[in-house]
Structure 1
Amino acid sequence: MCRWLFNGLVAGLVFLSLHVFAYTPLSDDTLLYLLPQPEPADFDIHTGALLAPILIPRVPGTPGSQIVRQHFVDFFHRSLPSWSLTFQNSTSKTPTHGNTEVPFVNLVATRDPPWIQAGNVGRLTLVAHYDSKYKPDGFIGATDSAAPCAMIMHAMKAIDAALTKKWETVQAQGDIELDFDEYKGIQVLFLDGEEAFHSWTATDSIYGARSLAEEWEHTINPATSIYKNRLDSIELFVLLDLLGTSEDLPIPSWQHSSHWSYVKMAEAEGRLRKLGLFKSNPSHTWLPDKDKKESDVFSSYVMQDDHLPFIARGVHVLHLIPARFPSVWHTMNDDGEHLDIPTVQDWALLTTVFAAEYLELEGFFGSSANKNIKRDAAVISKTEL
């Protein structure tokens, strides 16, 4: 898992993007009665359809890695057939494999508006790494990051039908050429090779993320496209890591340029707690920096993780990782038995709500989805913060 970088904070602040992204909170009625809730059976550590298959050693290039990757593929084919799946492959030497090239395989799952053309869609991007540590033998990495992968899987399954209804409504109204905001898509990155094989360095870590960021930077879209390359089309890179224990581990707002998104997720957390929809410890607040000022310090490059090659290329990142790591971090106790399943379910729910609000799915959950897309005072843009 990631490391702190102790050589000081990055000076200065990152300027806000000039793009404006609308964001519509879900109503209390939608949260209480219409939004699909995490099912305990999906997160059972022994039989859970989402989580249990990931709770095995999954070192890059091993059978365990292939098994977990196939679990993801089967999930999307079975539950989300409208999504497009691709693999991004690379190889690299490591400090522990001599001259042997270790394979790294990133899974990219994407769903875009059906009328969209290549290069013209910006995407909310949800990210977790699925590999586990090389040593100690048998290491599981439940918080690091099996549980975050399962949280994202639930969120995508929970919003998929509403996304379909929204896009069908947009097409039926004939507004696809008029409303740029409806050009938002969504993608999931399950990244390989985040963990160091020997010790964390710039070259012994985040193998898959480094390869993917470099490749996408040079994957150029057609000249008439809105976005110049695949990397440029990432509107927001939301990285989940080290989540799922019962410990009180607050998450700071790490990035100045994406603080607006941290604020919106913190507000969603507060509403879910107020409505009694969380099952975990009510005394814990996960996102306490909601009132952080623009003039405060944002330690964007302090925490070493899969986001680094993306943020270095100008991608806006919402990094959901605690500043203080769980007590099970990088020990054999980071297994299914040490997960707090109510916390895992609550993170899955919060991830669902954030994605639904970012994609403006209010009115499209349940059988009585609204036929008109509403814009009102609840819509905010990141330039307003």
Structure 2
Amino acid sequence: MFLSRLFLVLSPLLSRAAAYHKLSDETLKQLPRPGAEFDIKNGALLAPILRPRVSGTEGNVAVRQHFVDFFRNNLPEWTLEFHNSTSPTPTSNGKEVPFVNLILTRDPPGTHVGDVGRLTMVAHYDSKLTPKGFIGATDSAAPCAMLMHMAKTIDAALTKRWKASGSGLDDLDGPKGVQILLLDGEEAFKSWTDTDSLYGSRALAEDWEYSFHPAMSTYRNPLDAISLFVLLDLLGSKNPTVPSYFKTTHWAYKNMADIEARLRKLGLFKSSPNHPANMAKRKNKKPRREPNFLTEADKKDGSFLGGGIEDDHVPFMARGVDILHIIPSPFPKVWHELIDDGEHLDMNTVEDWTVLVAAFVAEWMELDEFFDFKAGKREEKVKAETVHEQGKTEFEIP
């Protein structure tokens, strides 16, 4: 992303908003938090991402392997694909640098490619070349870990829902699935330009534009099958404020903002000054104003000026995909600084974003009655014991 450069891109006038079924308070209360899995030193999900991972380097490959191992060992129902491209960069002396996007998809069983509309959740996993040793905890290690946790949170409920509903074929808007894009090459190698940035997303959007589904499919190509493209970036610093950038997807922003408001009202946001743990530390127990993450739920139609922050959504938006961009403005103070590391993450904020993202996806997929939190805890215990006994299963990646 680049703060000072704004773009104007035409987007479809009509959103693809579908019928929405809210999660119950009880489900919101029981949605799992990442806890120890997000420990910055030893956490199973976050810690392996907190390292330099510049595109084309060993660190980049190691982090990609971490994603692959997680899904292969824990979520085998998700289809994993690699999208490969190469490009010279301003610092590669004419050599081609590899960029590898990971595409993780969970569609209803028995459905055909081209007939499933997907909620597409996105983050980039590469880190910036400079300054040397840059980690990029908010940019975007933490968002990647949030998507991993989200997938684990909803996986069993998706299976149960599709088993109960005949593979989702009873959805009024057609079968719907979930897709995760972990994109490579977002960062500029030298300075942000149209050609030195967004390497992976530019290549993927271009390829998908011409990857046509079979004749008579509901959706013409993979881009057309994206119901909503939700991009997470720069998340993990304290007190973020995220505007609503696009009029066409303000309805989705409002849905996420409503979930945030409900989580806060239920006392489930650990970063809130009114969370019971934080209230207990204060002499004055009177409730304080809630510092919402999503600050523009009441934004009026005439307030949308048509611009935005350049990021991985741009190549997709230029091709007509609806975008919900979850990125703070102003950027966090750690942006592109060496201090954007694990120690400077606000873990309460990270956990709150994680639960909010999972709740948004669960609500979109209408999973409220299909969670079995007790069974989930038992399965987690069995999986942990199995992995400990058998060791990690390797899966070769490009």
Q: Which residue of 2 aligns with 1:373?
A: none
- C-alpha separation between the residues in 1 aligned to 2:221 and 2:244? 28
Q: Residue 109 of structure 1 contacts residue 187 of structure 1 at CA under 8 Å; is this kept in 2?
A: yes
Q: Which residue of 1 aligns with 2:226?
A: 234
Q: Which residue of 2 aligns with 1:354?
A: 360
What is the aligned-residue RMSD (CA, Å)? 1.8
Q: Residue 10 of structure 2 contacts residue 318 of structure 2 at CA under 8 Å; is this kept in 1?
A: no
- C-alpha separation between the residues in 2 aligned to 1:260 and 1:298? 17
1:136 is matched with which residue: 131, 138, 141? 131
Q: Residue 90 of structure 1 contacts residue 105 of structure 1 at CA under 8 Å; is this kept in 2?
A: yes
Q: Which residue of 1 aligns with 2:202?
A: 210
Q: Residue 120 of structure 1 contacts residue 225 of structure 1 at CA under 8 Å; is this kept in 2?
A: yes
Is the alpha carbon distance of 1:368 and 1:45 closer, same or farther for their aligned partners in structure 2, counting shifts above 3 Å? Answer: closer
- C-alpha separation between the residues in 2 aligned to 1:215 and 1:3? 27
Q: CA deviation at 1:23?
A: 1.5
Greater helix share, structure number: 2
Q: Which residue of 1 aligns with 2:4?
A: 4
Is the alpha carbon distance of 1:295 and 1:22 closer, same or farther for their aligned partners in structure 2, counting shifts above 3 Å? Answer: same
- C-alpha separation between the residues in 2 aligned to 1:101 and 1:316? 32
Q: Which amino acid in structure 2 is aligned with residue 341 of structure 1?
A: M
Q: Which residue of 2 aligns with 1:15?
A: 13
Q: Which residue of 1 aligns with 2:296?
A: 289
Q: Percent same amino acid among aligned pairs?
A: 57
Matched ranges for 1:1-385 at <5 A: 1-6=1-6, 10=8, 14-17=12-15, 19-33=16-30, 35=31, 37-171=32-166, 176=169, 178-181=170-173, 183-246=175-238, 248-282=239-273, 283-300=290-307, 302-366=308-372
Q: Which amino acid in structure 1 is aligned with residue 294 of structure 2?
A: L
Q: Residue 94 of structure 1 contacts residue 197 of structure 1 at CA under 8 Å; is this kept in 2?
A: yes
Q: Which amino acid in structure 2 is aligned with residue 131 of structure 1?
A: D
TM-score (norm 1): 0.90
Q: CA deviation at 1:171?
A: 1.8
Q: Residue 253 of structure 1 contacts residue 298 of structure 1 at CA under 8 Å; is this kept in 2?
A: no
Q: CA deviation at 1:235?
A: 0.4
Q: CA deviation at 1:256?
A: 1.1
- C-alpha separation between the residues in 1 aligned to 2:177 and 2:135? 32
Corresponding residue SS for 1:347: helix
Q: Which consecutive residues of structure 1, in runs of 5 or more, have no partner in the other structure?
A: 370-385
Corresponding residue SS for 1:257: helix
Corresponding residue SS for 2:77: coil
- C-alpha separation between the residues in 1 aligned to 2:310 and 2:9? 17
Is the alpha carbon distance of 1:56 and 1:81 closer, same or farther for their aligned partners in structure 2, counting shifts above 3 Å? Answer: same
- C-alpha separation between the residues in 1 aligned to 2:342 and 2:2? 20
Deviations 1:147-184 (A, max 9, x none): 00001111110011111100000128xx73x5343500
Deviations 1:168-205 (A, max 9, x none): 00128xx73x5343500000000000000000000000
Q: Which residue of 1 aligns with 2:386?
A: none
Q: Residue 92 of structure 1 contacts residue 102 of structure 1 at CA under 8 Å; is this kept in 2?
A: yes
After superposing the two structures, state which structure 1 stretch, 107-116 or 358-367, moved more.
358-367
Corresponding residue SS for 1:349: helix
Deviations 1:316-360 (A, max 9, x none): 010000110111110100000000111111100000000000111
Corresponding residue SS for 1:353: helix
TM-score (norm 2): 0.87
Q: Residue 9 of structure 2 contacts residue 317 of structure 2 at CA under 8 Å; is this kept in 1?
A: no
- C-alpha separation between the residues in 2 aligned to 1:221 and 1:14? 21
- C-alpha separation between the residues in 2 aligned to 1:12 and 1:223? 28
Is the alpha carbon distance of 1:13 and 1:292 closer, same or farther for their aligned partners in structure 2, counting shifts above 3 Å? Answer: farther
Q: Which consecutive residues of structure 2, in runs of 5 or more, have no partner in the other structure?
A: 274-289, 376-398
Deviations 1:269-315 (A, max 9, x none): 00000101111133421101101112222444x30100000011000
Deviations 1:61-114 (A, max 9, x none): 000000000000011011111000000000001111121000000000000000
Aligned length: 359
Q: Which amino acid in structure 1 is aligned with residue 163 of structure 2?
A: E
Is the alpha carbon distance of 1:28 and 1:68 closer, same or farther for their aligned partners in structure 2, counting shifts above 3 Å? Answer: same
Q: Which amino acid in structure 1 is aligned with residue 262 of structure 2?
A: R
Q: Which amino acid in structure 2 is aligned with residue 345 of structure 1?
A: E
